[in-house]
Structure 1
Amino acid sequence: MKIIEHATAASLWAVAEPLLATDPANNTHQLSALSRILQLGARHGERFFAVELDGMLVGCATLVDTQTLFLSVMPDEAATALATWLRTQQIALAGVIGRRDLLKSFTDIFDREYSVHADLLLYQLHGSPAFGSASGASRIATSNDIDLLIDWLSAFEAEVGMIAVPTPLAERVRRRIADEQIVLWCDRGEPVAFAGGNPLPAASARIGPVYTPPPLRARGFAQAVTAAASVHVQRDRPRTVFLFTDALNPASNRCYQRIGYRHIADHAHLLFDRRAT
């Protein structure tokens, strides 16, 4: 196995796109990270790695702005080779995200104490999404919704314990509004829930985050807005649509199953003990 560090996201993308497209579901974190960096540039020390066997690409990984490594699908021996190389090069990682089986191969060799930040269930939409019976209708968020969405996204990130990112929250919200990536569900004209929707390469898309303020929950708004976002991300072309759920949140899992999402794989986000040497 040979590990090659690429200087830019564009350089890695040029060789990795066909590989990532073979399994857009399990490579969705890589597709999302690389497409975002290709659009915005690498502003926070992002790094890009390829794993080759006999001159053929068999896996890749992106170290994003939180010092979290996103692993593509790859053979177990590629994951162990990458872990060995990163450890030898003394490249610091705050965490790693990927398919559960690959994470075991990686962490066995990377040899750092870690905790599970999130057990993630990967779901894929089958058929047309079911909106349920919630009252109201959807609309695309506009610049008039910025303050509301900053408040809601801040509350969402606090609730799920999201790892802090360098890009300010307001900048992230404005960008997603400009790209028409946020759908609101409104009841009696007032926003009651939102869902993000991110079109990705390989004719795929990912939904998230989804948030309903606590006083408005259990009324079907999360199902309705997720269904609306699932339709919206396919406005330009048919796409295979995915989302991640917290394995420990039965309510959200039931909600997405009612829409038409089906569990297809197990992923996880692991955090390394930064005090380890």
Structure 2
Amino acid sequence: MTWHFTTDRGAFLAAAGAHLAAEPARNTAVLTTMDGAALLGWWTGPDGTVTGVLAAAPLPDLTFGAVPVEAAAALVLPDGTEPATLRGETAAVEAYANATGLPWEPAMGIRLFRLGELTPRDPAPAGRSRPATTADLAPLAEWTADFARLHRYEPRDDYTDFLTERITEGRLHLWEAPDGRPVSMAAVSRTVGGQARVHLVYTPPADRGRGYAAGVTAAVSRVALGSGAAHVLLFTDLANPTSNALYPRLGYRPVADHLGVRFTPRP
């Protein structure tokens, strides 16, 4: 039983492709970050079968896919590298943190949901959904910066490239109020390994409580289904009761709780 590491996406897929395909929901974070990952890893059991994967995009920020607790506890990164952050299913993250003895603090508790049957809000909120365009970049950049702050992500100086990629690929939608004013947004990842993940769901404070997030989330969920995704996923902040109540009403069902932690370097 051992960990293997590579920087080559092709080598990673050749070794771990069957595991990724068998567990696309639990491996969603690895599937959607592996293209730009600085390090990819897989765990083999006694019979050589891959039963765990990870990605660092970039180092020293580490993400677990589906990883057995014993694999997490046995993880030693190449060259003795130690992660600054780690996220993954709660039991695996805690097993790694406890085994290393690194001081750590929780950064976020999140829940992974998978779409069953999409059940849009009825009646629909006032207004309509539409794909975002580059003309929307200025307000969307402000919304994205606030989204990052609320969810404790590392802020960027400029979100233009991040947003433009999603806009040009038709993966970022807005909800417009009846007066044509954008009031909510949501995006969806590319479909990889049969799964796509809804993210960047945000409504400005002044427009909350009117169902706009439900409308735009249903819209991008349809985009994901139309792209051929067999599994449409999303994460929610466990500390946000509004989002954890919203998504089940749209047809999303819980898969697993995840934990994100920050480590303190050894002296």
The answer to whether the Cα contact below 8 Å between 2:196 and 2:229 also exists between their aligned partners in 1 is no
* Corresponding residue for residue 187 of structure 1: 177
Structure 1 position 62 matched with structure 2 position 52: no
The answer to whether the Cα contact below 8 Å between 2:112 and 2:256 also exists between their aligned partners in 1 is yes
Structure 1 position 94 matched with structure 2 position 87: no
2-structure distance, mates of 1:22, 1:256: 25
* Corresponding residue for residue 108 of structure 1: 98
Q: Which amino acid aligns with 2:49?
A: M
For 1:257, what is the secondary structure of its paired residue?
Answer: helix
Cα deviation for residue 10 of structure 1 reads: 2.7
The answer to whether the Cα contact below 8 Å between 2:149 and 2:155 also exists between their aligned partners in 1 is no
1-structure distance, mates of 2:126, 2:64: 40
2-structure distance, mates of 1:232, 1:16: 28
* Corresponding residue for residue 261 of structure 1: 252
What RMSD in Å do the two structures reach over aligned CA positions? 1.9
Where in structure 2 are there 5+ consecutive unaligned residues? none
The answer to whether the Cα contact below 8 Å between 1:31 and 1:200 also exists between their aligned partners in 2 is no
For 1:131, what is the secondary structure of its paired residue?
Answer: coil
* Corresponding residue for residue 196 of structure 1: 187
**After superposition, what is the alpha-carbon deviation per residue over 1:238-267, rounded to whole angstroms, capped at 9, x for unaligned?**
521111101111011111122111222111
Going from structure 1 to structure 2, the CA distance change for 1:10 and 1:148 (only over 3 Å counts) comes to farther
The answer to whether the Cα contact below 8 Å between 2:112 and 2:235 also exists between their aligned partners in 1 is yes
1-structure distance, mates of 2:7, 2:255: 33
Q: Which amino acid aligns with 1:89?
A: D
* Corresponding residue for residue 42 of structure 2: 50
For 1:200, what is the secondary structure of its paired residue?
Answer: coil
* Corresponding residue for residue 127 of structure 2: 136
Cα deviation for residue 73 of structure 1 reads: 1.1
2-structure distance, mates of 1:237, 1:50: 27
Map residues 139-154 of structure 1 onto 2, 5 A cutoff.
Answer: 139-154=130-145
1-structure distance, mates of 2:247, 2:17: 29
Cα deviation for residue 31 of structure 1 reads: 0.8
Map residues 157-236 of structure 1 onto 2, 5 A cutoff.
Answer: 157-164=148-155, 168-188=158-178, 189-236=180-227
**After superposition, what is the alpha-carbon deviation per residue over 1:184-227, rounded to whole angstroms, capped at 9, x for unaligned?**
11112221100011133231111011000000000000111111
Cα deviation for residue 92 of structure 1 reads: 2.8
TM-score by length of 1: 0.89
The answer to whether the Cα contact below 8 Å between 2:87 and 2:93 also exists between their aligned partners in 1 is yes
2-structure distance, mates of 1:236, 1:181: 10
Higher alpha-carbon deviation: 213-222 or 69-78: 69-78
Where in structure 1 are there 5+ consecutive unaligned residues? none
**After superposition, what is the alpha-carbon deviation per residue over 1:51-73, rounded to whole angstroms, capped at 9, x for unaligned?**
22343322221111262111121
TM-score by length of 2: 0.92
1-structure distance, mates of 2:216, 2:239: 21
The answer to whether the Cα contact below 8 Å between 1:66 and 1:163 also exists between their aligned partners in 2 is no
1-structure distance, mates of 2:29, 2:162: 17
1-structure distance, mates of 2:103, 2:205: 35
**After superposition, what is the alpha-carbon deviation per residue over 1:6-59, rounded to whole angstroms, capped at 9, x for unaligned?**
13223212322210121111111111111x42xxxx5xxx11222223433222
Q: How many residues align?
A: 264
